[in-house]
Amino acid sequence: MKRMLIIMTGAWLVLMPHASFAGPDGQAPAGKGEAVKQDLALQLAQRWDQLKYNTPDKKARVAGFKKLVEDAKALAQAHPDDPAPKVWAGITLATLAGEDGGLGALGLVKEAKALLEAALAQHPNKELETSIHTTLGSLYYQVPGWPIGFGDEDKAVEHLKKALELSPNGLDANFWMASYLWDETRRYKEAAEYFRRAIAAPPRPGREIADAGRKAEARALLAKVEKKLH
């Protein structure tokens, strides 16, 4: 059931494209480099969370996602060694494809895929790598296959399984495997189990908005799956 609808996979923070995260010599303060990267990733994630789950007006949401893509790309250029801006630019482009849709959606998801693959090649931390695999997995099963798009069910499963290896109890890893099983295979019993795992996932510090929103989606989909099982 291929479609161009991507359901991508804190405080509203303003990041300037050339924001400085270094000391006067151009280097991050000693011992602070990894903490700075983690903080940047969290800021980008929280902006996405706020738009996705706390911005009911579609025009405002789409405009916000476009600005987030713009900022994340600028940060990726300013900090090429940090995969986080690429990851969040890719995730946001995928989300925007579902929000804005239209003829440009395929171009958006292709760009998202390229950014996510570039970030993966930089050997990101486990949290970012999990996000890359869940997003690529969701793209591969939702985007049409050749000759229209790059959709590929085998690659979707490969990425979704890798995400679960990295984060077996994680919210997004379980949610997207469940969604794939529900949407594409009709393996309802397995889908229900993964949705339950998603709902039971431990909280992520700083991602309270996303946790609440994603778990609400999981509960709604689980209710639909359970109707198929009875």
CA 104 to chain centre: 19
R_g over Cα of the chain: 17
Query: pLDDT at position 71, please?
Result: 95
Q: How far apart are CA 224 and CA 179, in angstroms?
A: 11
What is residue 201's predicted lDDT score, i.e. its pLDDT? 98
Sorted by where each starts, the structural domains of the chain and their CATH numbers stand as 33-165 (1.25.40)
pLDDT at 36: 65
pLDDT digits (tens, 9 = 90+) for 178-200: 999 999 999 999 999 999 999 99
Q: Which residues of the chain have pLDDT under 70?
A: 1-34, 36
Per-residue pLDDT, 1: 41
Decide if 177 contacts 169 (C-beta within 8 A): no
- Burial track 84-95 (b if 16+ CB lie within 10 A, e otherwise): bbbbbbbbbbbb
Predicted local distance difference test score (pLDDT) of residue 40: 81
Predicted TM-score (pTM) of this structure: 0.85
Report the mean per-residue pLDDT for the chain: 87
